[in-house]
Protein backbone atom coordinates (compact mmCIF):
# COMPACT_ATOMS: atom_id res chain seq x y z
CA UNK A 1 0.00 0.00 0.00
CA UNK A 2 1.18 3.48 -0.78
CA UNK A 3 1.54 5.80 2.17
CA UNK A 4 0.80 9.48 1.93
CA UNK A 5 3.95 11.54 1.32
CA UNK A 6 5.84 12.08 4.53
CA UNK A 7 9.08 13.71 5.55
CA UNK A 8 11.59 11.68 7.50
CA UNK A 9 14.44 12.51 9.84
CA UNK A 10 16.73 10.20 11.78
CA UNK A 11 18.25 12.05 14.72
CA UNK A 12 21.41 10.76 16.33
CA UNK A 13 20.69 12.03 19.83
CA UNK A 14 17.68 12.22 22.11
CA UNK A 15 17.92 16.00 22.33
CA UNK A 16 18.01 16.29 18.56
CA UNK A 17 14.88 14.11 18.40
CA UNK A 18 13.09 16.38 20.87
CA UNK A 19 14.15 19.46 18.89
CA UNK A 20 12.85 17.91 15.66
CA UNK A 21 9.54 16.98 17.27
CA UNK A 22 9.15 20.51 18.63
CA UNK A 23 10.25 22.27 15.44
CA UNK A 24 7.77 20.59 13.09
CA UNK A 25 4.03 20.74 13.49
CA UNK A 26 2.50 17.36 12.70
CA UNK A 27 5.71 15.51 13.57
CA UNK A 28 5.48 12.09 15.19
CA UNK A 29 8.05 9.85 16.76
CA UNK A 30 8.55 6.56 14.90
CA UNK A 31 9.62 3.73 17.22
CA UNK A 32 9.22 0.14 15.97
CA UNK A 33 6.44 1.15 13.62
CA UNK A 34 4.33 -1.94 14.27
CA UNK A 35 1.30 0.25 14.92
CA UNK A 36 2.18 3.55 13.29
CA UNK A 37 3.12 2.21 9.84
CA UNK A 38 -0.15 0.29 9.70
CA UNK A 39 -2.32 3.22 10.74
CA UNK A 40 -0.49 5.31 8.14
CA UNK A 41 -1.41 2.73 5.49
CA UNK A 42 -5.05 2.99 6.56
CA UNK A 43 -4.66 6.81 6.60
CA UNK A 44 -5.97 6.73 10.15
CA UNK A 45 -2.87 8.80 10.95
CA UNK A 46 -1.06 11.04 8.51
CA UNK A 47 1.92 12.63 10.19
CA UNK A 48 3.75 15.25 8.13
CA UNK A 49 7.13 14.37 9.59
CA UNK A 50 8.42 11.10 11.04
CA UNK A 51 11.22 11.33 13.57
CA UNK A 52 12.81 7.87 13.54
CA UNK A 53 14.14 6.88 16.96
CA UNK A 54 15.88 3.80 15.52
CA UNK A 55 19.42 5.09 16.04
CA UNK A 56 18.95 6.24 19.64
CA UNK A 57 20.76 3.39 21.36
CA UNK A 58 20.39 5.22 24.71
CA UNK A 59 16.69 4.47 24.58
CA UNK A 60 17.16 0.71 24.15
CA UNK A 61 18.80 -0.05 27.45
CA UNK A 62 17.21 -2.04 30.27
CA UNK A 63 18.88 -1.36 33.61
CA UNK A 64 18.33 -1.93 37.30
CA UNK A 65 19.52 0.65 39.77
CA UNK A 66 18.65 0.28 43.41
CA UNK A 67 15.01 -0.73 43.59
CA UNK A 68 14.02 0.50 40.15
CA UNK A 69 13.91 -1.34 36.84
CA UNK A 70 14.25 1.15 34.02
CA UNK A 71 13.20 0.18 30.50
CA UNK A 72 14.23 2.46 27.67
CA UNK A 73 11.31 3.46 25.46
CA UNK A 74 12.91 1.71 22.45
CA UNK A 75 13.38 -1.64 24.22
CA UNK A 76 11.62 -4.25 22.09
CA UNK A 77 9.29 -6.95 23.39
CA UNK A 78 11.91 -9.53 22.41
CA UNK A 79 14.54 -7.67 24.45
CA UNK A 80 12.19 -7.56 27.44
CA UNK A 81 11.46 -11.30 27.09
CA UNK A 82 15.12 -12.30 27.27
CA UNK A 83 16.44 -9.57 29.59
CA UNK A 84 18.14 -10.92 32.72
CA UNK A 85 17.45 -7.54 34.38
CA UNK A 86 13.72 -7.99 33.83
CA UNK A 87 13.93 -11.60 34.97
CA UNK A 88 15.50 -10.68 38.30
CA UNK A 89 13.48 -7.55 38.97
CA UNK A 90 9.92 -7.77 37.56
CA UNK A 91 9.49 -10.97 35.53
CA UNK A 92 5.79 -10.46 34.79
CA UNK A 93 6.90 -7.95 32.15
CA UNK A 94 8.69 -10.68 30.20
CA UNK A 95 5.78 -13.07 30.60
CA UNK A 96 3.30 -10.55 29.19
CA UNK A 97 5.66 -9.29 26.45
CA UNK A 98 5.79 -12.90 25.19
CA UNK A 99 2.00 -12.82 24.68
CA UNK A 100 2.05 -9.82 22.35
CA UNK A 101 1.27 -10.57 18.70
CA UNK A 102 3.95 -12.78 17.08
CA UNK A 103 7.71 -13.21 16.77
CA UNK A 104 8.11 -10.69 13.97
CA UNK A 105 6.11 -7.99 15.72
CA UNK A 106 7.93 -8.65 19.02
CA UNK A 107 11.26 -8.20 17.26
CA UNK A 108 10.33 -4.66 16.23
CA UNK A 109 7.60 -3.44 18.59
CA UNK A 110 8.72 -1.42 21.60
CA UNK A 111 7.45 -0.71 25.10
CA UNK A 112 7.41 3.00 24.30
CA UNK A 113 5.37 2.50 21.15
CA UNK A 114 2.96 0.24 23.01
CA UNK A 115 2.21 2.76 25.74
CA UNK A 116 2.28 5.86 23.53
CA UNK A 117 -0.17 4.39 21.03
CA UNK A 118 -2.42 3.51 24.01
CA UNK A 119 -4.72 1.36 21.98
CA UNK A 120 -7.22 0.10 24.60
CA UNK A 121 -6.50 -3.49 23.52
CA UNK A 122 -2.75 -3.16 24.23
CA UNK A 123 -1.30 -5.36 26.97
CA UNK A 124 1.16 -3.01 28.61
CA UNK A 125 -0.97 -0.01 29.66
CA UNK A 126 -3.06 -1.98 32.21
CA UNK A 127 -0.03 -3.95 33.35
CA UNK A 128 2.10 -0.85 33.95
CA UNK A 129 -0.69 0.87 35.89
CA UNK A 130 -1.03 -2.25 38.06
CA UNK A 131 2.71 -2.32 38.73
CA UNK A 132 2.80 1.35 39.73
CA UNK A 133 5.16 2.30 36.88
CA UNK A 134 6.16 5.83 36.01
CA UNK A 135 7.05 7.35 32.66
CA UNK A 136 9.90 9.81 32.05
CA UNK A 137 9.14 12.36 29.35
CA UNK A 138 11.55 14.90 27.85
CA UNK A 139 10.40 18.21 26.44
CA UNK A 140 11.88 21.62 25.77
CA UNK A 141 11.80 22.39 29.50
CA UNK A 142 13.61 19.23 30.56
CA UNK A 143 12.50 15.90 31.97
CA UNK A 144 9.40 15.13 33.98
CA UNK A 145 8.05 11.96 35.49
CA UNK A 146 4.38 10.97 35.17
CA UNK A 147 2.82 8.09 37.11
CA UNK A 148 1.28 5.45 34.82
CA UNK A 149 -2.11 6.18 36.40
CA UNK A 150 -1.96 9.71 34.97
CA UNK A 151 -0.15 8.86 31.73
CA UNK A 152 -3.03 7.40 29.73
CA UNK A 153 -5.50 10.13 28.77
CA UNK A 154 -7.61 8.67 25.96
CA UNK A 155 -7.55 6.35 22.96
CA UNK A 156 -4.19 7.03 21.24
CA UNK A 157 -3.70 9.93 23.67
CA UNK A 158 -1.16 10.12 26.49
CA UNK A 159 0.64 12.66 28.68
CA UNK A 160 3.37 12.89 26.02
CA UNK A 161 2.50 16.26 24.46
CA UNK A 162 3.45 17.94 21.20
CA UNK A 163 7.18 18.31 20.98
CA UNK A 164 7.81 15.78 23.75
CA UNK A 165 9.36 12.33 23.77
CA UNK A 166 8.92 9.36 26.11
CA UNK A 167 12.38 8.32 27.29
CA UNK A 168 11.76 5.42 29.62
CA UNK A 169 9.40 3.47 31.81
CA UNK A 170 10.39 2.79 35.42
CA UNK A 171 8.95 -0.05 37.43
CA UNK A 172 9.60 -0.82 41.11
CA UNK A 173 11.90 -3.85 41.22
CA UNK A 174 10.45 -6.84 43.07
CA UNK A 175 11.50 -10.26 41.82
CA UNK A 176 8.96 -12.20 43.88
CA UNK A 177 6.14 -9.72 43.39
CA UNK A 178 2.63 -11.17 43.25
CA UNK A 179 1.83 -9.89 39.75
CA UNK A 180 -0.63 -11.43 37.33
CA UNK A 181 -2.16 -10.93 33.93
CA UNK A 182 -5.10 -12.55 32.16
CA UNK A 183 -6.72 -11.91 28.82
CA UNK A 184 -9.27 -13.24 26.39
CA UNK A 185 -7.83 -12.93 22.91
CA UNK A 186 -8.80 -13.44 19.29
CA UNK A 187 -6.92 -16.67 18.72
CA UNK A 188 -3.92 -17.56 20.84
CA UNK A 189 -1.88 -14.45 21.67
CA UNK A 190 -4.09 -12.38 19.37
CA UNK A 191 -5.67 -9.00 20.00
CA UNK A 192 -7.24 -8.72 23.45
CA UNK A 193 -11.03 -8.69 23.72
CA UNK A 194 -10.71 -8.19 27.46
CA UNK A 195 -7.70 -8.09 29.75
CA UNK A 196 -6.75 -7.51 33.36
CA UNK A 197 -3.53 -7.07 35.26
CA UNK A 198 -3.20 -7.50 39.00
CA UNK A 199 -0.61 -6.72 41.61
CA UNK A 200 -1.06 -7.99 45.14
CA UNK A 201 2.25 -6.79 46.50
CA UNK A 202 1.11 -3.47 47.91
CA UNK A 203 -1.06 -2.78 50.95
CA UNK A 204 -4.23 -3.35 48.93
CA UNK A 205 -4.82 -5.29 45.69
CA UNK A 206 -4.50 -3.31 42.46
CA UNK A 207 -6.44 -4.65 39.51
CA UNK A 208 -6.41 -2.82 36.19
CA UNK A 209 -8.84 -3.61 33.38
CA UNK A 210 -8.02 -3.22 29.69
CA UNK A 211 -10.29 -3.08 26.62
CA UNK A 212 -13.28 -1.73 28.56
CA UNK A 213 -12.67 2.02 28.37
CA UNK A 214 -10.48 4.56 26.57
CA UNK A 215 -7.90 4.22 29.33
CA UNK A 216 -6.97 1.42 31.75
CA UNK A 217 -9.48 1.20 34.62
CA UNK A 218 -7.96 0.84 38.09
CA UNK A 219 -9.97 -1.18 40.58
CA UNK A 220 -8.92 -1.49 44.22
CA UNK A 221 -10.99 -4.14 46.01
CA UNK A 222 -10.77 -4.36 49.78
CA UNK A 223 -9.50 -7.93 49.53
CA UNK A 224 -8.27 -10.36 46.87
CA UNK A 225 -10.95 -13.05 47.26
CA UNK A 226 -13.19 -13.70 44.28
CA UNK A 227 -16.34 -12.11 45.73
CA UNK A 228 -14.51 -8.91 46.64
CA UNK A 229 -12.90 -8.72 43.19
CA UNK A 230 -16.22 -9.26 41.39
CA UNK A 231 -17.96 -6.69 43.60
CA UNK A 232 -15.25 -4.14 42.98
CA UNK A 233 -15.35 -4.66 39.19
CA UNK A 234 -19.17 -4.41 39.21
CA UNK A 235 -18.89 -1.24 41.31
CA UNK A 236 -16.92 0.57 38.61
CA UNK A 237 -20.06 0.81 36.43
CA UNK A 238 -18.18 -0.15 33.29
CA UNK A 239 -19.64 0.96 29.94
CA UNK A 240 -17.41 -1.07 27.62
CA UNK A 241 -17.61 -0.78 23.83
CA UNK A 242 -19.51 -3.27 21.67
CA UNK A 243 -17.84 -4.65 18.58
CA UNK A 244 -17.85 -7.70 16.35
CA UNK A 245 -15.86 -9.68 18.92
CA UNK A 246 -17.93 -8.96 22.02
CA UNK A 247 -21.06 -7.06 22.98
CA UNK A 248 -20.80 -4.54 25.81
CA UNK A 249 -22.54 -6.95 28.19
CA UNK A 250 -20.27 -9.83 27.27
CA UNK A 251 -17.17 -7.66 27.56
CA UNK A 252 -18.33 -6.50 31.00
CA UNK A 253 -18.67 -10.15 31.98
CA UNK A 254 -15.20 -10.95 30.58
CA UNK A 255 -13.67 -8.04 32.49
CA UNK A 256 -14.74 -9.63 35.78
CA UNK A 257 -13.53 -13.06 34.63
CA UNK A 258 -10.13 -11.65 33.63
CA UNK A 259 -9.86 -9.74 36.91
CA UNK A 260 -10.43 -12.93 38.92
CA UNK A 261 -7.97 -14.90 36.77
CA UNK A 262 -5.34 -12.16 37.01
CA UNK A 263 -5.63 -12.20 40.79
CA UNK A 264 -5.25 -16.01 40.87
CA UNK A 265 -2.24 -15.73 38.57
CA UNK A 266 -0.74 -13.04 40.81
CA UNK A 267 -1.27 -15.11 43.95
CA UNK A 268 0.37 -18.14 42.29
CA UNK A 269 3.37 -16.12 41.17
CA UNK A 270 3.79 -14.52 44.60
CA UNK A 271 4.20 -17.89 46.33
CA UNK B 1 20.90 19.11 12.97
CA UNK B 2 19.37 16.78 10.48
CA UNK B 3 16.45 18.20 8.48
CA UNK B 4 13.41 16.12 7.53
CA UNK B 5 13.26 15.14 3.86
CA UNK B 6 10.86 13.29 1.60
CA UNK B 7 13.52 10.94 0.33
CA UNK B 8 16.85 9.62 1.48
CA UNK B 9 19.84 7.75 0.08
CA UNK B 10 20.10 4.36 1.72
CA UNK B 11 22.56 1.50 1.61
CA UNK B 12 21.46 -2.01 2.49
CA UNK B 13 23.13 -5.37 2.16
CA UNK B 14 20.66 -7.91 0.79
CA UNK B 15 21.75 -11.55 0.55
CA UNK B 16 25.36 -10.41 0.64
CA UNK B 17 25.06 -7.79 -2.07
CA UNK B 18 25.13 -4.06 -1.28
CA UNK B 19 22.42 -1.89 -2.84
CA UNK B 20 22.50 1.90 -2.74
CA UNK B 21 19.34 3.69 -3.73
CA UNK B 22 17.50 6.94 -3.20
CA UNK B 23 14.10 6.03 -1.75
CA UNK B 24 10.98 7.95 -0.79
CA UNK B 25 10.47 8.13 2.96
CA UNK B 26 7.01 6.64 2.48
CA UNK B 27 8.28 3.56 0.63
CA UNK B 28 7.68 0.29 2.45
CA UNK B 29 10.66 -2.03 2.71
CA UNK B 30 8.72 -4.82 0.98
CA UNK B 31 8.20 -2.60 -2.08
CA UNK B 32 11.88 -1.70 -2.08
CA UNK B 33 12.78 -5.39 -2.03
CA UNK B 34 10.28 -6.47 -4.68
CA UNK B 35 10.15 -3.49 -7.02
CA UNK B 36 13.43 -1.60 -6.62
CA UNK B 37 15.85 -4.51 -6.44
CA UNK B 38 13.60 -7.11 -8.11
CA UNK B 39 13.68 -9.79 -5.43
CA UNK B 40 10.11 -10.95 -5.83
CA UNK B 41 10.40 -14.07 -3.67
CA UNK B 42 9.25 -11.96 -0.73
CA UNK B 43 5.46 -11.83 -1.02
CA UNK B 44 2.80 -9.32 -0.08
CA UNK B 45 -0.23 -11.10 1.31
CA UNK B 46 -2.34 -8.83 3.47
CA UNK B 47 -0.32 -5.62 3.63
CA UNK B 48 -1.63 -5.13 7.17
CA UNK B 49 1.04 -6.95 9.14
CA UNK B 50 -1.06 -10.03 9.82
CA UNK B 51 -0.10 -12.71 7.32
CA UNK B 52 3.72 -12.84 7.45
CA UNK B 53 4.19 -13.58 3.73
CA UNK B 54 6.62 -10.62 3.62
CA UNK B 55 8.84 -11.96 6.43
CA UNK B 56 12.56 -11.33 5.95
CA UNK B 57 15.56 -11.27 8.27
CA UNK B 58 16.72 -7.82 9.31
CA UNK B 59 20.09 -8.03 11.04
CA UNK B 60 19.31 -11.67 11.81
CA UNK B 61 15.81 -11.15 13.19
CA UNK B 62 12.56 -12.17 11.48
CA UNK B 63 10.49 -9.07 10.74
CA UNK B 64 7.55 -8.26 8.48
CA UNK B 65 8.84 -6.08 5.67
CA UNK B 66 5.43 -4.48 5.08
CA UNK B 67 5.62 -2.88 8.51
CA UNK B 68 8.94 -1.14 7.96
CA UNK B 69 9.89 1.82 5.86
CA UNK B 70 12.80 1.22 3.52
CA UNK B 71 14.61 4.22 5.08
CA UNK B 72 14.48 2.46 8.46
CA UNK B 73 16.54 -0.39 7.01
CA UNK B 74 19.40 1.90 6.01
CA UNK B 75 22.68 0.24 6.99
CA UNK B 76 21.05 -3.09 7.76
CA UNK B 77 21.87 -6.60 6.60
CA UNK B 78 18.83 -8.22 5.07
CA UNK B 79 18.25 -11.80 4.08
CA UNK B 80 15.33 -12.75 1.86
CA UNK B 81 14.13 -16.18 0.75
CA UNK B 82 16.42 -15.93 -2.28
CA UNK B 83 19.38 -15.86 0.12
CA UNK B 84 18.67 -19.25 1.69
CA UNK B 85 19.91 -21.61 -1.03
CA UNK B 86 23.51 -21.26 -2.05
CA UNK B 87 24.54 -22.31 -5.55
CA UNK B 88 21.06 -23.65 -6.36
CA UNK B 89 21.43 -26.25 -3.60
CA UNK B 90 18.31 -26.14 -1.44
CA UNK B 91 18.82 -25.92 2.31
CA UNK B 92 17.79 -28.77 4.58
CA UNK B 93 14.73 -26.72 5.53
CA UNK B 94 13.70 -26.17 1.93
CA UNK B 95 14.24 -29.85 1.11
CA UNK B 96 12.15 -30.78 4.11
CA UNK B 97 9.31 -28.53 2.92
CA UNK B 98 9.44 -30.40 -0.38
CA UNK B 99 9.64 -33.84 1.22
CA UNK B 100 6.72 -33.17 3.59
CA UNK B 101 4.51 -31.49 1.01
CA UNK B 102 4.59 -28.42 3.22
CA UNK B 103 3.25 -26.18 0.51
CA UNK B 104 0.04 -26.21 -1.43
CA UNK B 105 -0.42 -22.91 -3.27
CA UNK B 106 3.01 -21.77 -2.06
CA UNK B 107 2.08 -18.15 -1.43
CA UNK B 108 2.95 -18.20 2.28
CA UNK B 109 6.06 -20.35 1.76
CA UNK B 110 8.72 -17.59 1.58
CA UNK B 111 7.51 -16.14 4.87
CA UNK B 112 7.22 -19.58 6.47
CA UNK B 113 10.78 -20.41 5.42
CA UNK B 114 12.14 -17.15 6.82
CA UNK B 115 10.32 -17.56 10.16
CA UNK B 116 11.42 -21.20 10.36
CA UNK B 117 15.04 -20.46 9.49
CA UNK B 118 15.16 -17.71 12.15
CA UNK B 119 13.85 -20.25 14.68
CA UNK B 120 16.33 -22.95 13.65
CA UNK B 121 19.23 -20.50 13.90
CA UNK B 122 18.37 -19.93 17.57
CA UNK B 123 16.98 -23.33 18.42
CA UNK B 124 18.29 -26.09 16.12
CA UNK B 125 15.97 -28.79 17.52
CA UNK B 126 12.60 -27.18 18.17
CA UNK B 127 9.66 -29.25 19.34
CA UNK B 128 6.22 -28.94 17.80
CA UNK B 129 5.02 -26.36 20.30
CA UNK B 130 8.07 -24.18 19.69
CA UNK B 131 7.59 -24.43 15.94
CA UNK B 132 3.93 -23.45 16.21
CA UNK B 133 4.85 -20.44 18.36
CA UNK B 134 7.54 -19.40 15.86
CA UNK B 135 5.18 -19.41 12.88
CA UNK B 136 2.27 -17.85 14.71
CA UNK B 137 2.78 -14.68 12.70
CA UNK B 138 2.54 -16.56 9.41
CA UNK B 139 -0.81 -17.46 7.92
CA UNK B 140 -1.27 -20.34 5.45
CA UNK B 141 -4.63 -19.77 3.84
CA UNK B 142 -4.61 -23.32 2.47
CA UNK B 143 -4.44 -24.29 6.19
CA UNK B 144 -1.57 -26.65 5.48
CA UNK B 145 -0.07 -26.15 8.92
CA UNK B 146 0.33 -29.81 9.87
CA UNK B 147 2.78 -30.53 7.07
CA UNK B 148 4.57 -27.21 7.57
CA UNK B 149 5.09 -27.95 11.27
CA UNK B 150 6.24 -31.50 10.50
CA UNK B 151 8.69 -30.22 7.90
CA UNK B 152 10.29 -27.79 10.36
CA UNK B 153 10.41 -30.24 13.29
CA UNK B 154 11.95 -32.85 11.01
CA UNK B 155 14.87 -30.56 10.11
CA UNK B 156 15.80 -30.43 13.78
CA UNK B 157 15.39 -34.19 14.22
CA UNK B 158 17.70 -34.87 11.29
CA UNK B 159 20.26 -32.21 12.20
What pLDDT is attached to residue A188?
82
Choose the final residue of a domain: B29, B53, B83. Answer: B83
Res. B124 pLDDT band, cuts 50 70 90: very high
CB contacts of B71 in chain A (<8 Å) are 8, 10, 52
Chain mean pLDDT for chain A: 96
Residues 103-142 of A with CB under 8 A from B: 103-105, 107-108
Using CB atoms, pick whichever of A2, A41, A49 lies closest to residue B4.
A49
pTM of the model: 0.97
Considering the domain architecture, whether residues B98 and B65 belong to the same structural domain is answered as: no
Using CB atoms, pick whichever of B2, B68, B136 lies closest to residue A102.
B136
Res. B86 pLDDT band, cuts 50 70 90: confident
What pLDDT is attached to residue A271?
84
What DSSP string runs through A23-74? HSTTEEEESS-TTHHHHHHTTS---SEEEE-TT-GGGG-EEEETTEEEEETT
pLDDT in tens, A142-171: 999 999 999 999 998 999 999 999 999 999
Tell me whether 0.90 is exceeded by the ipTM. Answer: yes
A10 and B CB contact within 8 Å: yes
Pick the CATH number of A7-52 from 3.20.20.100, 3.30.43.10, 1.20.1270.30, 3.10.180.10: 3.30.43.10
pLDDT of residue A2 exceeding 90, the answer is no
Pick the CATH number of A57-172 from 3.30.56.10, 3.30.465.10, 3.40.50.2300, 1.10.10.60: 3.30.465.10
CB contacts of B113 in chain A (<8 Å) are none
Residue A186, C-beta contacts closer than 8 angstroms, at least 6 positions apart: A193, A245
Average pLDDT over residues A98-104: 97
Average pLDDT over residues A184-208: 93
CATH of the domain at B147: 1.10.150.120
What pLDDT is attached to residue A258?
98
Domain with B126, as residue range(s), is: 92-157
B55 and A CB contact within 8 Å: yes
Q: Which of A108-117, B81-90, B126-135 has the lowest mean pLDDT?
A: B81-90
What pLDDT is attached to residue A109?
98
Where is mean pLDDT largest: A42-46, A89-93, A173-177?
Answer: A89-93
Comparing alpha-carbon positions, the chain B residue that sits nearest to A28 is B4
Please return the burial class of A172, using the count of CB atoms within 10 Å of its CB with bins 0-12, 13-18 and 19+.
Answer: middle
What pLDDT is attached to residue A203?
83
pLDDT in tens, A28-59: 999 999 999 999 999 998 999 999 999 999 99
* Interface mutation target, options B9, B23, B24, B26, chain A, most CBs of A under 10 Å: B26
- How many other C-beta atoms can be found within 10 angstroms of the C-beta atom of residue A146? 17
Task: Enter the CATH code of domain A179-270.
Answer: 3.30.390.50
Nearest to A104 by CA among B146, B46, B32: B46
What pLDDT is attached to residue B159?
78
Amino acid sequence: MLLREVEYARPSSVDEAVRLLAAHEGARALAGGQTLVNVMKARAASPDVLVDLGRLEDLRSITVSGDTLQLGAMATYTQIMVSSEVDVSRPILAEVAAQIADVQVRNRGTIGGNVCSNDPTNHLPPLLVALGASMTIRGADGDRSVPAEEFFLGVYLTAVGEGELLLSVSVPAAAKAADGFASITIGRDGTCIASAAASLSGSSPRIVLGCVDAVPVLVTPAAADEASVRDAVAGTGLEPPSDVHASADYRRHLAAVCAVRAVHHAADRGR
Amino acid sequence: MEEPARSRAISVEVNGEVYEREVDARRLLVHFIRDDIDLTGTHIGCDTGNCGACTIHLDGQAVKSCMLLAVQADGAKIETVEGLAEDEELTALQQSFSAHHALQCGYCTPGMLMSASALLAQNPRPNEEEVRAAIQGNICRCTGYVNIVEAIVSVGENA
